[in-house]
Amino acid sequence: MISHVSPVRVRYRDTDQMGVVYHGVYLEYFETGRTELLRELDIPYSGIEEQGLMLPVLDLALKIERPARYDDLLHVESVIDRMQGARLRIDYRLYRADDPDLLVSGHTTHAFVSVGDLSPRRPPRFFLERLERASVREA
């Protein structure tokens, strides 16, 4: 299991008329968490694209336990627990920085595909090696 925590501040524009974070914005927070997790592993998305690959979202889930509000400082915990073939699943948990109670949980599933025809591809060697190194460090 590989995890990373990213801070995110709720902006005014992230909230709806009820004063809580609009549900679609949580997916943006997931993306921030995912990007920072990969960056922490020294796997910038640009490095994946340089290999002629992309990682589109195939599946996602989002469960809101409690709402976040304007100006909350959130911690987005992103976790890679497994890879299966060309698929990568990342789980997310969002908390207020000063409160251990879960606000939002969810996941995204991605597939490595070629840029040209979007056909599934094996993850690049450097990606797997960096995941392996990180797994050893966290164990």
The three-class DSSP label of residue 132 is helix
Q: What percent of the chain has pLDDT over 70?
A: 99
Q: Is-catalytic flag, 16? A: yes
- What does pLDDT average to over the chain? 95
- pTM value > 0.85: yes
What pLDDT, on a 0 to 100 scale, did the predictor assign at position 137? 75
Q: Which of 16, 42, 59, 81 is catalytic?
A: 16
CATH code (residue 65): 3.10.129.10
What pLDDT, on a 0 to 100 scale, did the predictor assign at position 139? 61
What domain range is 73 assigned to? 2-138
- Residue in the structure block whose two tokens are 């995941």: 131
CA–CA distance, 102 with 42 (Å, rounded to integer): 28
Number of domains in the chain: 1
Whether the CB-CB separation of 35 and 75 falls below 8 Å is answered with no
CB neighbours of residue 125 within 10 Å = 9
Whether the CB-CB separation of 5 and 77 falls below 8 Å is answered with yes
